[in-house]
Chain A
């Protein structure tokens, strides 16, 4: 059974803390994504990676960075957490070639910044 696993379901952090969200996939996928989900806004792409150490900014990269040191792991970093980063974060992975294969998602991390 293919899997994308996010390290935490729920996380509460304080303003100004450095926060790490971890994501691991076991499907040998080239592409990995971090999305942020807010009510009425759908899924917005923060960053994605198409290979080890390769990354591209998405639509809302401000306040975030990412790391992909190994193919199976993609980390999202909030350098200094702020209350407006309270949200649901979804990690996904997919094959790179073609447009016919779906993305597989992790279970999501609900982050609250207080």
Chain B
């Protein structure tokens, strides 16, 4: 069974500091994709970053980077230089190739950036 775990229901970070949001996953598939999404209070889901299980380098997209540790089955999101606009829910997701490429989501982390 596929499972995504986000153990931090809520987090605070000071503006301009870096923050790490944790994500662990469980799968028996060897090949899979890992994704992070941001959901502001308006409700839309915004795709942030992708990491393939066979990618040798950690993914980066601007201020977002993914700390991928395959052996530990973890895919933590690092946000550098936090901004007030980063306050949102963040969801980790996994997409294994089996079973029609469904997406499996974690329970989310609510990030609050303090001025």
Contact = CB atoms under 8 A, between A and B. Distances in A.
B50 interface: yes
Interface string A30-44: 010101000011111
Interface stretch (B28-36, B67-75, B76-84): B28-36
A99 B105 contact: no
A102 interface: yes
A99 B95 contact: yes
A98 B104 CA distance: 15
B72 to A, nearest CB: 20
A75 interface: no
A55 B14 CA distance: 45
Interface residues of A, number: 32
Interface string B72-109: 00000000000000000001010111001111111110
30 contacts: A9-B43, A33-B103, A35-B105, A40-B9, A41-B107, A42-B4, A42-B106, A42-B107, A42-B108, A43-B91, A45-B103, A50-B100, A56-B100, A58-B102, A92-B103, A94-B103, A96-B101, A97-B101, A98-B97, A99-B96, A100-B50, A100-B95, A101-B33, A102-B35, A103-B93, A103-B95, A104-B47, A107-B44, A108-B43, A108-B44
Interface of B: 4, 6, 9, 31-33, 35, 37, 42-45, 47, 50, 52, 91, 93, 95-97, 100-108
Given A42-B106, A108-B44, 19 more contacts: A9-B43, A31-B100, A31-B101, A33-B102, A35-B105, A42-B105, A43-B105, A44-B105, A45-B103, A48-B102, A99-B95, A99-B96, A100-B52, A100-B95, A102-B35, A106-B44, A107-B43, A108-B43, A110-B43
